[in-house]
Structure 1
Amino acid sequence: MHDKNADSPVPALFSWEFAADPYPAYAWLREHAPVRRTELPSGIEAWLVTRYADARQALADGRLSKNPVHHADDAQGKSKTGIPGERSAGLMTHLLNIDPPDHTRLRRLVSKAFTPRRIAEFAPRVQELTDDLIDAFAARGSADLIHEFAFPLPIYAICDLLGVPREDQDGLRDWAGMMIRHGGGPRGGVARAVKKIRGYLAELIHRKRRGDGDDLISDLIRASDHGEHLTEEEVVAMCFVLLFAGFETTINLIGNGAHALLRHPEQRAALQSSLADDEYGLLEAGVEELLRFDGPVEMATWRYATQALEIGGVAIAEGDPVLVVLAAADRDPERFADPDALDLSRSDNQHLGYGHGIHYCIGAPLARLEGRTALATLLRRLPDLRLAAEPEELRWRGGLIMRGLRTLPVEFTPRQK
């Protein structure tokens, strides 16, 4: 066993205080119990992997399955792992839940629609959405950057990309809001939102099958490889996970990123200065550092041991769930110099914020585009942006996988469009 100091008190995990700042607890785990079996708030026991080298190995280990059928507690199909409600809604056949060869086939087909060119061509629309949202509060001199900016931007962006009609987007925004509000609480609220979103997407996909639209859903319907297409269930599940993963991770990237910049004025000033000179190298490096420093995904999605194995010298039994703690790995001093410092110019920043291996986030280029656009535009248009609350007054959403603020109140000099 790797535990160096079994008598040292284990820090409290998953409390509200932990949610506000989990990094000291993760530092303890990295030092004393880098692979530790832990009871989660749901009552499930899972292994937490906190060191960078172990995390990187686990993320690419084919013996760790993404499919919950390999969970030892899944015999009756009642596992509490994964996205609440996805099983009952028939949304299991997406990239977060399957392994090769099905994962290989599905990712190859999805990649035909979710291309770098499509993301690049989408940049002007992301800028337009960003400016419209800032226009709505710029003259007021105050805002909640989560509810008025970080939340609606990725929702409207992914809706546009998928091809959701404008008149339907506010409805999807409301259902997405239900998922956010209940993310750390009762699973029933999330499950109801999942069911509504699934029903809407199935009906929309049915309509798009009759047309020749130029949007991501239409491309997913048309995507084929050697005559093989995505099934109806796969298209619905894929659209759902793009929506679900695509909005919450980006909300947190923008929210956590803005929060970090507001708490580190020297770093923020350097970024503003570079943007004023129309230099974007620090912006690109800076977004990568924000992903490392306080990223949107605290733990990688669930994995299950398909056979007995070892991680970091610790024996993992077949059927055990494993959670790779990205937030801990990305502050490992064995991998990153001065890991608790925010350094927007950090080089060699191979963080794990979007995963590693075959399950590396397919939507990462879109999230990066939205994060860069949102933060750069905020700093340009509202240069004296400042927190309107004491840092200790801010509340973080409870939950396991994602890390994000409930609210981020700010003030600034009122500005016209």
Structure 2
Amino acid sequence: WGAAAVGRACGEDRLIAFDMGGTSTDVTLIEGGRPQVTAEGAIDGLPFAVTTTDIHTVGAGGGSIAWRDAGGALRVGPRSAGAVPGPACYGRGGTEPTVTDANVLLGHLDPGTQLGGEMAMEPSRARSAVASLAEELGLGALGTAAGILRVVEAQMAKALRVVSVEQGHDPRDFTLVPFGGAGPLHQGALARELGCRRVLVPPNAGVLSAVGLLSAPVTVDGVRTSLVGSADADPEVLGRIWDELEDEARALVLDQGSSVEHVARGADLRYRGQAFELTVGVGAGSSPTLPDGGDVDAMVAAFHDAHRERYGYDQPEEAVEIVNLRVRVEGPTPSIPLVPVAAGSGASSAVVGTRTVVVDGGERECELYDRSRLGAGDTFDGPAIVVGLDATCWVEPWQGVTVDPLGALVMEEVSS
């Protein structure tokens, strides 16, 4: 919901949210300004059937530990150094190489910057940790660091495809929103891998999840099994069940001190013989909310469309079964004030130094920008490092940056 709130404020309603923290990466797709939801999921391989935001998680974060497997291949995660002892560069006793250590070694994290304004990094410890792994792999330290980033970014790109391509969506039609403490460091590689033409790094990206907590509406989902063939379904019976579910959900929303602003109805359907269902209406993204009257033909048509969008085909000649009826009742979406930034006086006024970084195996000089000094309308091109109190953004050499009125960094590919 934090990414959705920033997207709405910036005029973007088709987003891929990418939250990379210290231990894991969480991704979801936002369409029409609303996160997608799902009626099923899994935790540690155990399936559950509870309506929830459709978030896909992988064990890839800034603290994920790089290691050599029995076959000699480089792996990253899911084991993490956590916050304590943390990456080797924290100087808190960590000795194993992590994604953060690789970023330090390649210059994407400036060792002269204090993390959170307080913690000084120790690049020598990062180098020592990565060098130990490099020796096992028979590679140089810089090559190993670059390999660590390639491996972890491949894992995250796979997760992003799960919530986009595998759901029938083209990532090129969406804006990538990286956040979390480590997300902006990897935005360029993922945008290029997925073909996202635009990247939006929110202000206060490192704590955007807190904004999401405050901007999520009170929501109650109701579901009731009603297994019936669509040809035998009675619209009056369906409508009565939906009415009962809506009344129950409304009461629960009102009990939480919220008013009711949005009601959507939906259903889980499948072709006869299938062992899985597709939801149309509630939580189905671009599929329409179903009409109040329980129009069975419209519901079945929406199912055929959803099946074709998800799997590339539909079977209109096959019998369709209605499995569950659903209702979602929401209160108003809280309005979180996002304070505009002052007009910029030119990006050069935010430059606080230069740094040597490793790009494609070679060294390049890049400028360091203090994000707090950037103003609306400022523009600059990569390679660059934008340092904030809560997150650092690595701008790839092929990216151009414009600071929007809210202080978000809007990045697009620049002509070579």
Greater per-residue helix proportion = 1
TM-score (normalizing by structure 1):
0.24
Higher Cα radius of gyration: 2
Which structure is richer in relative contact order (CA contacts within 8 A, separation 6 or more)? Answer: 1
Greater per-residue strand proportion = 2
TM-score (normalizing by structure 2):
0.24
